[in-house]
Amino acid sequence: MTATPASAAPAPGDGLVRAGAIVFIVGAVATLVTVAPLFLGTEPFPTVAYAVSMLMGVGFLVAAAGVLRSIAAQRRQARSARSAAGSAR
């Protein structure tokens, strides 16, 4: 197992994955909050609260886009390294 240096630059999709995770967590908390009145027998929250719950799916999509962007960058890097090694021979 190789260790990654602490000063290594972040991958291109890292920011999207982090942002997606934060948005997902906000949506998950909103989902728990909007479902709670169903179990507690209180008045349900307004429609806006249910709309915030949709951030869970948005966060998942943003994080998935970050993963795909990171995969694409790694493929480009591997392809360029392969072509550089092939031309050095």
pTM: 0.76
Question: What is the per-residue pLDDT for 49?
Answer: 85
Question: What is the per-residue pLDDT for 78?
Answer: 86
Question: What is the per-residue pLDDT for 17?
Answer: 93
pLDDT by residue for the chain (89 residues), tens only, comes to 566 555 577 778 899 999 999 999 999 999 999 998 888 888 888 888 889 999 999 999 999 999 999 999 889 888 888 888 877 66
Three-state secondary structure string covering the chain: CCCCCCCCCCCCCHHHHHHHHHHHHHHHHHHHHHHHHHHHCCCCCCHHHHHHHCHHHHHHHHHHHHHHHHHHHHHHHHHHHHHHHHHHC
